[in-house]
Chain A
Amino acid sequence: MQTRQDDIRAETPLMRLENINMVFRKPGALFADRDIHVLKDISLEIGEREIVALVGESGCGKTTLGKIVTGLYRPTSGDVYFEGERVSGVFDKKLSSYNQVQFIQQDSYAALNPVRTIYQSLYAPIKTHHRKWKRAQIDERIEELMGLIGLLPSSQFLGKYPHQLSGGQRQRILMARAISLDPKLIVADEPVSMIDVSLRLSLLNLMKELNEKLGMSFVYISHDLSTTRYIAHSGRVAVMYLGQIVEVGKIGDVISSPRHPYTRALLQAVPIPDPDFKGNDELPLKSMQLGSLENRGEGCAFFDRCLYSREACKQKFGSVLTETAEVLCCNLGQVPSEPVFEKIDRTEENV
């Protein structure tokens, strides 16, 4: 698939995914295993110093895609290129055991070994990848990392076990561990969804800082468009639906003028922290039910829920380049293009 980004960015992107397909086999009755097509023809580029967000409902395949980017899964078909070279999973030599791409998990409690201290959790990966480093050198590096993530004095935290830290602190430790090997790309899977609201913003700020100061690229996976807009305000967003990217573009453009019918519904569902915004109660969707990944036909995956679908959509789908985004819909002419938010005018009323 020819993408808009090819024209814009002449230099080699940090990571390029080409026609990625991922099929999981679901065991059924004898000889009746069913194939679940979790990702379908995904092509995406991640530039250096770029933040790319993947958003969508649960089950849309965003975490699976994140795991392919980190090399934890090998795609069923399709190619992954890192700095222009084709790579194949975690043990690929090109990536020297893939430490140039790191993963931050959603559940910080499950991601840290409960019987190891924070120091041990941070020490192990550095020692593994820098065999010749002396203890003092590693300690110095850990001290530097703790400063970067804002947990100082470090002596107060390093001797503790994961359960002795708060959720926000644990999430910071995960970030320290992820950056300890100087990766070029970090995949963060819902990193703030389990964190208290008042602490979320500081974690997002930390990620922005790492992106700006250390030049790390981020893939931010989330179902929350508000935090996505905050972290990736200058980056791109890829909206996913049933294993496909239905719209990709600059996040500002996608939010102010969403084009794909699904993106429009998704945006309209996001609650806005201001009571003066009109409650768009009825979403522009035909049905609430998420389509099925099994028996995926030839046509558009969004067909059943789309208000603007025609018969032809059952047979084929294709992507369209609009002025601002690449949209997977061949009936765009029928989809409204005005913004989905409307502020209620209350100047007449007494506030």
Chain B
Amino acid sequence: MQTHTDHIALFSHVSIDYPLKKYTLRAVTDVTFALKRGAVTALVGESGSGKTTIASSLIRCISEPGRVAEGDITFYGSGGEETRLDLLSDKEMRAFRWRKVSMVFQAAQSALNPVLTVREQFSETLEAHGEKLAKEEREARFSDLLDYVKLDAERVLSSYPHELSGGMKQRVMIAFALLLDPELIILDEPTTALDVITQNYIFTLLKKINREKGISMLLMTHDISVVAKFADYVGVMYGGRLMEYGDVRTVFHRREHPYTAGLIGATPSIVGDISQMKPIEGSPPDLLDLPKGCVFAPRCPKCRPVCLTEEPPMREFEDGSMGKCYFYREGDHADTAG
């Protein structure tokens, strides 16, 4: 078992509810996993799988009226301090957010304030966090950051968001996330709506930040190819549950969980054999009307009677992998790999 210094954050049995008028929707159910310090961890899942909800809970940015109903979220700072994020007051959370954990949002065009220049937005954030810097110092910090993400600082700082292209805005957002030297950056689908060449560029940049500055990253994506290329560890979400967690190569090679195997088998690639590809039958679950046993059972090719009555427990293995399936790493299951 690893010590907590290896981890930067730990989700322990976290459930997140959205209380609605007539009923309560549970978007995330009993999720436990740790984020490794210095690594890129990806959460992959389809829309409605709960990946954005769980990641947003780190900085209490879950969209209203969502709230953490059960479980602990702990942050381990580099100085050895432990912070229970779910217990912080709103004021404490405001100070913590962005300084320790920042976020790059999905739609860069709507994440930037359209009536402020980039410089004004950067300054505003510095002031809100009580950083009192001389003008030159501040300018120097902004230019350094923008240079780092390979933008022309002079031009970009005095631009309004609409004067920048999609790829440039996303790079401004990345610089923005680095502004207060955080230890962890949450990346919510950072490249949707960007074309492949810009996407490649953004990920190359993020990888460089991860390696050079040692900043840990939590990436949410629906694209398993991006996970293969960019992440070190991966958690697979489905119907609000974490179905599988492990290091990327193990997860891709062993394909132990039927949902993960299905996702990989349903993702076309530009190399290799495409004649064996097949879609996952059925459609994603309705969170208000979840099946009784395993949430994936109705679509699972390996479904047995037990899967329909009782939800499988999450089991942990020696190499740090976790799987939520009765047949995870069982002999009769291993032959599906490759």
Point out residues on A near B: beta carbons under 8 Å. Answer: 57-58, 166, 168, 196-202, 204-205, 223-227, 229-230, 233, 255, 265-277, 279, 281-283, 285, 288, 290, 341, 351
Contact = CB atoms under 8 A, between A and B. Distances in A.
A166 B283 contact: yes
Contact of B47 (A196, A282, A351): A196
Contacts of B201: 283, 288
Contacts of A341: 270-271
A224 B165 CA distance: 20
29 contacts: A57-B196, A57-B198, A196-B284, A198-B262, A198-B266, A198-B279, A201-B278, A205-B279, A223-B195, A223-B196, A224-B196, A230-B268, A230-B277, A271-B229, A272-B225, A272-B271, A273-B228, A273-B252, A273-B269, A274-B271, A274-B272, A275-B228, A277-B229, A279-B229, A281-B207, A282-B204, A283-B201, A288-B150, A351-B249
A205 B253 CA distance: 26
Contact of B270 (A255, A279, A283): A255
A225 B253 contact: no
Contacts of B222: 196-197
Contacts of B253: 351
A271 B268 contact: no
A269 B267 contact: no
Contact of A288 (B198, B230, B267): B198
B107 interface: no
A293 to B, nearest CB: 14
B197 A198 contact: no
A166 B46 CA distance: 13
A32 B284 CA distance: 53
Nearest to A277: B271
Contact of A274 (B252, B268, B283): B252
Contacts of B85: none
Contact of A197 (B224, B229, B299): B224
A198 B249 contact: no
A204 B253 CA distance: 26
A225 B274 CA distance: 13
B12 interface: no
Contacts, number: 131
B196 A269 contact: yes
A1 B152 CA distance: 41
Contact of A271 (B46, B226, B248, B278): B226
Nearest to A290: B165
Contacts of B263: 197-198
B199 interface: yes
Interface in B248-306: 248-250, 252-253, 262-264, 266-272, 274, 277-281, 283-284, 299
Contact of A200 (B198, B228, B266, B270): B266
Given A197-B46, A227-B268, A271 B279 contact: no
B200 A283 contact: yes
B223 interface: yes
A128 B62 CA distance: 49
Given A229-B268, A351-B253, A285 B197 contact: yes
Given A271-B226, A275-B228, A279-B229, A198 B46 contact: yes
B167 interface: yes
A271 to B, nearest CB: 4
- A223, A229, A272, A273, most chain B CB atoms within 10 A: A273
A201 B222 CA distance: 14
A226 B197 contact: no
Given A197-B223, A204-B268, A275-B229, 12 more contacts: A58-B195, A166-B283, A196-B222, A202-B281, A225-B196, A230-B268, A266-B196, A271-B225, A273-B228, A275-B249, A279-B229, A281-B204
A196 B207 CA distance: 26
Nearest to B262: A198
A277 to B, nearest CB: 7
Contacts of A224: 196
A166 to B, nearest CB: 6
Nearest to A279: B229
A270 B274 contact: no
Contacts of A205: 279
Given A226-B269, A274-B252, A351-B249, A168 B283 contact: yes
Contacts of A223: 195-196
Nearest to A278: B229
A196 B279 CA distance: 11
Contact of B280 (A166, A198, A225, A266): A198
Nearest to A341: B271
Nearest to A230: B268
Give me the 9 closest cross-chain CB pairs, A-B, nearest first.
A201-B279, A230-B268, A269-B200, A271-B225, A202-B279, A198-B280, A57-B195, A273-B225, A271-B229
A201 B196 CA distance: 20
Given A57-B197, A198-B279, A202-B279, A271 B228 contact: yes
A288 B167 contact: yes
A266 B200 CA distance: 10
Given A199-B283, A266-B197, A229 B274 contact: yes
A285 B228 CA distance: 23
Contacts of A276: 249
A265 B197 CA distance: 8
B279 A226 contact: no
Nearest to B195: A57
Listed residue (A202, A204, A265) with the most chain B CB atoms within 10 angstroms of its CB: A202
